[in-house]
């Protein structure tokens, strides 16, 4: 029997991101190679200043490299224009941010509808999909509430629902529990773990080694803008 080859959804090949700060060149990322395979739970781990935030922006197609190649679902996106990159990103990657990034004058339902609007989805379909997703994250009784009427955990669950709006192949979570208490953080991580169990690819950026090791199949440990080490384990060894 021929072994099935794992599909690589995102690949960074010797990627560098340098910034000119006056006469000094800041090497935020200096030759990073990362592979994200379909169905994996990947963690990008590192302390402040390690390059993990820049790596997240590159993995999520939020930024373009100074050097190297980035492939998203087999397509080299390193040289795409920002408008083309935004369209590709909007279809293939859903984002969950530490600070939630919800629009304060929109309801939970309206916030979830926003990504679909940018992809040209009609209004009725946007409304139905948003309601379904808010049911999924157990916020069916908070759809018409504004962000300031929700707890931190509820806002992060709205953000999870919003990240799923366009049925992306990859969910990218940037410090998803950073602004939450321990108990609420565990609830949010359970949602991410359940999404991964259902086949969604999850990338989590974190500074917390315990989270990285408990939930991820593959951990990229960054230090000074490079991958210091890579640890892997089977799904059966992860926290359930």
Can you state the angle between helices 152-163 and 182-197, rounded to 10 degrees?
Answer: 20
93 inside domain: yes
pLDDT tens by residue, the chain, 240 residues:
344 457 899 999 999 999 998 899 999 999 999 999 999 999 999 988 899 989 988 988 888 899 999 998 888 888 888 888 888 888 889 999 888 899 999 999 999 999 999 888 999 999 999 999 999 999 999 999 999 999 999 999 999 999 999 999 999 999 888 888 888 888 889 889 999 999 999 999 998 888 888 999 999 999 999 999 999 986 555 555
8 inside domain: no
Query: Residue 144 contacts by C-beta under 8 Å, 6 or more apart in sequence?
Result: 107, 108, 109
Q: Which of 191, 195, 108 is nearest to 148 (CA)?
A: 108
18 inside domain: no
d(CA 194, CA 201): 11
128 inside domain: yes
Q: Which of 220, 206, 214 is nearest to 53 (CA)?
A: 206
Diameter of the chain measured on Cα atoms = 58
161 inside domain: yes
130 inside domain: yes
We report the CATH number of the domain holding residue 206 as 3.40.50.300
Structure tokens of 218? 């593959």
Which residues constitute the domain of residue 45? 40-52+79-237
3 inside domain: no
State how many domains the chain has: 1
Given a contact cutoff of 8 angstroms between Cβ atoms, the answer to whether 91 and 166 are in contact is yes
Q: Distance of CA 85 to CAs 16, 58, 82, Å?
A: 18, 12, 5
9 inside domain: no
Given a contact cutoff of 8 angstroms between Cβ atoms, the answer to whether 130 and 112 are in contact is yes
Judging by DSSP bridges, how do beta strands 8-21 and 24-37 pair with one another?
Answer: antiparallel
């Amino acid at each position: 029997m021929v072994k099935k080859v794992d599909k690589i959804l995102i690949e960074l090949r010797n990627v560098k991101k340098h910034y000119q700060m006056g006469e000094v060149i800041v090497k935020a990322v200096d030759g990073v190679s990362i592979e994200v395979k379909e169905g994996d739970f990947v963690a990008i781990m590192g302390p402040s200043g390690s390059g993990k935030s820049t790596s997240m922006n590159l993995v999520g197609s939020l930024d373009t490299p100074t050097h190297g190649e980035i492939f998203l679902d087999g397509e080299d996106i390193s040289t795409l224009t920002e408008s083309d990159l935004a369209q590709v990103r909007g279809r293939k990657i859903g984002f969950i941010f530490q600070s939630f990034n919800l629009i304060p004058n929109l309801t939970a339902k309206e916030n979830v509808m926003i990504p679909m609007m940018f992809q040209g989805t009609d209004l009725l379909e946007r409304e139905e999909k948003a309601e379904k997703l808010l049911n999924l994250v157990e916020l069916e009784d908070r759809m018409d509430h504004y962000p300031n009427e929700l707890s931190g955990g509820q806002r992060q669950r709205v953000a999870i629902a919003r990240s799923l709006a366009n049925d992306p192949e990859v969910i990218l979570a940037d410090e998803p529990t950073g602004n939450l208490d321990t108990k609420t953080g565990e609830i949010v991580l359970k949602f991410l773990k359940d999404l991964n169990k259902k086949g969604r690819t999850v990338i989590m950026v974190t500074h917390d080694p315990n989270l990285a090791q408990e939930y991820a199949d593959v951990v990229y440990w960054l230090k000074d803008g490079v991958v210091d080490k890579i640890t892997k384990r089977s799904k059966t060894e992860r926290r359930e």
